[in-house]
Amino acid sequence: MLLLETGYFHIQATKPDTIGVGLTDSPAGLAAYLIEKFSTGTNPSYKSMEDGGFLEKYTYDELIDNLMIYWASNSITTAVRIYAEMFTKENVALGDLINATLVKVPTACAQFPYEVMEHSPRVLRTRFVNLLRATKMPRGGHFAAFEEPELLANDIWASIDEMETWNKTHNKYL
């Protein structure tokens, strides 16, 4: 799945202005590009459905609202450029520093089954030493807050409860 569903990452990271011009020039092109991401980013099996599975999680209004944010504000190029900015010399050096730093504050992770990239709790604990919870969600993908807002919100509230309990017995100034 990683290889099949990360082509967008490569083009946005290497040619953001090129893809941006194409998406800014055509509302149909922008719709096709974004809505395909909602299909495969929500559940990869949707791409084999005749209609792309769009209405399994979203309404037409929700999809068009999301599309219109980018179209009306002419901001798709800026939105995709963030991928390229991750690979500037300065940001790569900063990322190396950040990734080498242990995170000691209590942390929680919601893991959705259709996210493109996932790390096991064991791997997460090598960086987040006070990982209090890593919830395996029953459904959801890359757009979890949009497709499963209640599921995500409930996990956030449960995480806050665990963090408050943890704080009562640990040094608050790690």
pLDDT value for 105 = 92
Does 6 lie in the same domain as 83?
A: yes
pLDDT of residue 44: 87
The pLDDT score that the predictor gives to residue 58 is 92
Tokens of 157: 């509230």
SS3 track for the chain: CCCCCCHHHHHHHHCHHHHHHHHHHCHHHHHHHHHHHHHHHHCHHHHHCCCCCHHHHCCHHHHHHHHHHHHHHCCHHHHHHHHHHCCCHHHHHHHHHHHHCCECCCEEEEECCECCCCCCHHHHHHHECCEEEEEECCCCECCHHHHCHHHHHHHHHHHHHHHHHHHHHCCCCC
User: The domain containing residue 28 runs over which residues?
Assistant: 1-93
| Average pLDDT score over the chain | 89
Which is more confident, 101 or 174?
A: 101
Beta-carbon contacts of 82 under 8 Å, excluding residues fewer than 6 positions away, are none
pLDDT at 91 (0 to 100): 74
Task: Give the residue from 115, 137, 119 showing the smallest Cα distance to 127.
Answer: 119
Domain count, the chain: 2
What is the model's pLDDT at position 3?
65
Could you read off the pLDDT of 56-88 as tens digits, one per residue? 999 999 999 999 999 999 999 999 998 888 878
Domain shared by 66 and 119, yes or no: no
Pair 88, 109 in one domain: no
Name the percent of the chain lying above pLDDT 90.
57
- Average of pLDDT values for 33-50? 89
The whole model's pTM is what? 0.81
The amino acid that residue 34 corresponds to is L
Pick from 64-73, 80-89, 130-139, 151-160: least confident: 80-89
Residue 82 shares a structural domain with residue 122? no
One domain, residues 39 and 124? no
Cα→Cα distances 15→11, 40, 78, Å? 5, 21, 12
Residue 113 has what pLDDT? 94
Same domain, 82 and 117: no
Same domain, 111 and 86: no
